[in-house]
Structure 1
Amino acid sequence: MKDAAKRGAQVDFEGDVAELEANDPGRAQRGAVAFGLSRKLIALSVSGAVAVAALFSLAFVSRGSGLDNSSESADATAAVPAAAVAAVEEGFADRSEEVSRNAVRSNLSEAVADEKAKDRTANMGASSEDAVKAYTDMTSEERQRLMDEDMALVDAQSAKLKKEAEEAARKLEEAKKAAAAAAASGGEVTETADLSAEDVSNLSSTGGSMPLKSNYSIGAWFGKTGSWSRYHTGQDFPAPIGTPIYAVASGVILSPTAGGWAGTNVVIRHSNGGATLYAHMSRKVVNTGETVKAGQLIGYVGVTGRSFGAHLHMEYYKPGVTPGKVYEASDPMAFLRSLGVA
């Protein structure tokens, strides 16, 4: 009886086990032992899972950051069996410090680039306001004087532009023949003596594109009078600084006009013998002698030169007219309509 009472006291923490012992002492004892082992196994499993999860997190953070957390790592390692440590190391074997550092460098570079872009945009915005104020404060006589000076620069540049235009015409004709030969043979367009396959493809392409594709409006038109020295010599497309600008048709890049009014600008000689000029850019991404196709990026909207604000000023010059001679330009919208895009 005393032994039974003693055994009953040992398992009295669970009513179910005590009740079993009262009915069958041997069965109750076995149940209590099994129950105790189950609780220990569950506790060990939970604590092991938590420890391994903690070690995974610590390994990830320490490897990704590159910081010296040796004391913390030692504590964590001491709390986990060696087998678990080996498993973690194997799991992270492909996440080298160099890869992590490269990722950090990449993120930092992108962040710095974003900040620089924001600063550049802010500075260009301030420059835009200053340029607008300076230009609007000019008298009509001052504007005419500056334009006369620009026309003298264009005259001095005309011989160079004429030579470049002749070379562009030769390239265009060569690309046309190469494309025709490829079409006749059913083969692919290939390079020629002076042109790459890409040049041939660009120059033999057809169709047209608007110079801006989004986020713009239609501004001052060709021939409009007002704040210009005589009249407006092109078509304006007001748009935020940095808006992409595209070639309206295929062609060869000529030297930019020397006229200071245009600021950073691009001139393209097209297959019909005419040329287009894209003025007041913040930046251009093409160089003299390169070929482009319709819709290809050539630069970004800005406020360089003499401008009333951020916009693209586009001009069109018929065959035989030197690009930059603004008072010999034609309506660019008529040219865009001939391309089927306006």
Structure 2
Amino acid sequence: MNDTPSRSAKRAAEVDFDDVAEIGAATAPSRARRGALAFGFSKKLVALSVAGAMSAAALFAFAFTSRGSDLNSDEASDANVAVPAAAAAAVQEGFADRSEEVSRNKVRTNLSQAAAEANSKDRAAVMGASNDAAVKAYLDMSTEERDRLMDEDLKLVKAQSDKLKKEAEEAARRLEEAKKAAAAAKAGETTDVQISEEDLQNLTSTGGSMPLKSNYRIGAYFGKRGSWSRWHTGQDFPAPIGTPIYAAASGVVSSPTAGGWAGTNVVIRHANGGATLYAHMSRKVVSPGTTVKAGQLIGYVGVSGRSFGAHLHMEYYKPGVTPGDVYKASDPMAFLRSLGVG
């Protein structure tokens, strides 16, 4: 078989694709010419498709870039044209109420905060005025008058001593029962001691705590002589009104001293038989008979009683001494150091 192409086939292969339309219009095309014509149209169709896809991609990239760069400009509003009206309305309806609610909540929160701040300022102003009045009244008082008032307080303490002695005995009993219950629990034994889990944990806890943990300084020390009666019977911790006060060690809360000098005060009986007294509080949060552990909140700094400024006056009484019998008190800082603090 002869593989040499025919003369007509060669002419078909040599046809210029740009002249296909003109040739087809002049004469009826042969089979080779019809194939060349189809191939020419296919090539142009592919080229047009590619060009269209590239144009669409470029347009999308431009729109996306413009959206990102002009998001905060006035022209960004034109992007809303691409969002169907129904969808835009649904979005607006879905978020309008929530935004309004958020606004109302924010307004209420701001009003509550403003009211709280105003009340806080009012309380601070009232307490500050009371503080100033107390300081002035105390400083205007003569030494003889201060001594007289303290002697009157000591009479009240003496009248209260029997009650406080019984409370001390009860506190010692509860502390001993807590000790026995803890030992029995450790050994896996049963006991007939009736004590709550909270009291057991409080009364068997060890360690100590500073009575104030922040916003205070060390003031007048035990034994110092000054404007107070005779000599200073405790340790002062000047601090702003409302500063939290904490139990120095675990124990049982006793009745407060009847001495008017201490104002609002808390007395705690400890495992060693001694007691601590926390005076001049603005408020206390524990009551007689309850148990506390070291570092537990018991009240707040104030200027109640015969105080010459906002501070905590702390006293320590050794076993056998009635809390409030101030001239038999001992150095509270020594007691704190024995607990590993101070």
Q: Do Structure 1 and Structure 2 share a fold, with TM-score over 0.5? A: yes
Per the TM alignment, residue 294 of structure 1 is displaced from its structure 2 partner at its CA by 0.4
Per the TM alignment, residue 118 of structure 1 is displaced from its structure 2 partner at its CA by 3.1
Rounded to whole Å, the distance in 2 between the matches of 1:247 and 1:338 is: 15
Per the TM alignment, residue 126 of structure 1 is displaced from its structure 2 partner at its CA by 1.3
Per the TM alignment, residue 41 of structure 1 is displaced from its structure 2 partner at its CA by 11
1:162 lines up with 2:165 in the alignment: yes
Rounded to whole Å, the distance in 2 between the matches of 1:252 and 1:111 is: 41
The one-letter code of the counterpart of 1:60 is: R
For structure 1, the 5+ residue unaligned runs are: 1-26, 67-99
Per the TM alignment, residue 108 of structure 1 is displaced from its structure 2 partner at its CA by 6.2
Rounded to whole Å, the distance in 2 between the matches of 1:289 and 1:206 is: 19
Q: Corresponding residue for 1:218?
A: 218
Per the TM alignment, residue 248 of structure 1 is displaced from its structure 2 partner at its CA by 0.4
Question: Residue 176 and residue 308 in structure 1: after superposition, are their counterparts in 2 closer, same or farther (change >3 A)?
Answer: same
Q: Kindly provide the CA deviation profile for residues 236-291 of structure 1, in whole angstroms up to 9, marking residues without a partner as x.
A: 01111111110000000001111111111100000000000000111111111000
DSSP-derived class of the 1:324 partner: coil
Larger Rg, first or second structure (1 or 2): 2
Rounded to whole Å, the distance in 2 between the matches of 1:107 and 1:179 is: 51
Aligned-residue RMSD, C-alpha: 3.1
Rounded to whole Å, the distance in 2 between the matches of 1:125 and 1:252 is: 33
Q: Corresponding residue for 1:75?
A: none
Q: Corresponding residue for 1:232?
A: 232
DSSP-derived class of the 2:223 partner: coil
User: Aligned runs of 1:88-107 on 2, under 5 Å?
Assistant: none
Per the TM alignment, residue 122 of structure 1 is displaced from its structure 2 partner at its CA by 2.1
Q: Corresponding residue for 2:186?
A: 183
Q: Corresponding residue for 1:283?
A: 283
Rounded to whole Å, the distance in 1 between the matches of 2:254 and 2:109 is: 37
Question: Residue 106 and residue 292 in structure 1: after superposition, are their counterparts in 2 closer, same or farther (change >3 A)?
Answer: farther
1:128 lines up with 2:131 in the alignment: yes
Cα contact 1:191–1:197 (8 A) shared by 2:
no
Q: Give the TM-score normalised by the residue count of structure 2.
A: 0.72
DSSP-derived class of the 2:145 partner: helix
Rounded to whole Å, the distance in 1 between the matches of 2:264 and 2:118 is: 24
Per the TM alignment, residue 181 of structure 1 is displaced from its structure 2 partner at its CA by 1.1
Which deviates more, 208-217 or 41-50? 41-50
Q: Corresponding residue for 1:51?
A: 89
Rounded to whole Å, the distance in 2 between the matches of 1:207 and 1:108 is: 44
DSSP-derived class of the 1:206 partner: coil
Q: Corresponding residue for 2:336?
A: 336
Per the TM alignment, residue 192 of structure 1 is displaced from its structure 2 partner at its CA by 4.3
The one-letter code of the counterpart of 1:247 is: A
Q: Kindly provide the CA deviation profile for residues 64-91 of structure 1, in whole angstroms up to 9, marking residues without a partner as x.
A: 678xxxxxxxxxxxxxxxxxxxxxxxxx
Rounded to whole Å, the distance in 2 between the matches of 1:123 and 1:315 is: 28
Q: Kindly provide the CA deviation profile for residues 187-243 of structure 1, in whole angstroms up to 9, marking residues without a partner as x.
A: 9xx9942x2101010000110011111111110000001111100000001111111
Q: Corresponding residue for 1:76?
A: none
Rounded to whole Å, the distance in 2 between the matches of 1:333 and 1:300 is: 20
Q: Kindly provide the CA deviation profile for residues 33-77 of structure 1, in whole angstroms up to 9, marking residues without a partner as x.
A: xx9xx99997251655543443234211455678xxxxxxxxxxx
Q: Corresponding residue for 2:144?
A: 141
1:294 lines up with 2:291 in the alignment: no
Q: Kindly provide the CA deviation profile for residues 117-159 of structure 1, in whole angstroms up to 9, marking residues without a partner as x.
A: 3322221111111101110111100101111111111111111
The one-letter code of the counterpart of 2:128 is: G
Q: Corresponding residue for 2:156?
A: 153
DSSP-derived class of the 1:180 partner: helix
Rounded to whole Å, the distance in 2 between the matches of 1:267 and 1:212 is: 16
1:173 lines up with 2:179 in the alignment: no
Q: Give the TM-score normalised by the residue count of structure 1.
A: 0.72
Q: Kindly provide the CA deviation profile for residues 2-37 of structure 1, in whole angstroms up to 9, marking residues without a partner as x.
A: xxxxxxxxxxxxxxxxxxxxxxxxx9xxx9xxx9xx
Question: Residue 120 and residue 327 in structure 1: after superposition, are their counterparts in 2 closer, same or farther (change >3 A)?
Answer: same
Rounded to whole Å, the distance in 1 between the matches of 2:110 and 2:252 is: 38
DSSP-derived class of the 1:336 partner: helix
The percentage of aligned residue pairs carrying the same residue is 71
Question: Residue 307 and residue 198 in structure 1: after superposition, are their counterparts in 2 closer, same or farther (change >3 A)?
Answer: same
1:273 lines up with 2:276 in the alignment: no
Question: Residue 106 and residue 290 in structure 1: after superposition, are their counterparts in 2 closer, same or farther (change >3 A)?
Answer: farther
User: Aligned runs of 1:294-333 on 2, under 5 Å?
Assistant: 294-333=294-333
Question: Residue 191 and residue 336 in structure 1: after superposition, are their counterparts in 2 closer, same or farther (change >3 A)?
Answer: farther
The one-letter code of the counterpart of 1:288 is: P
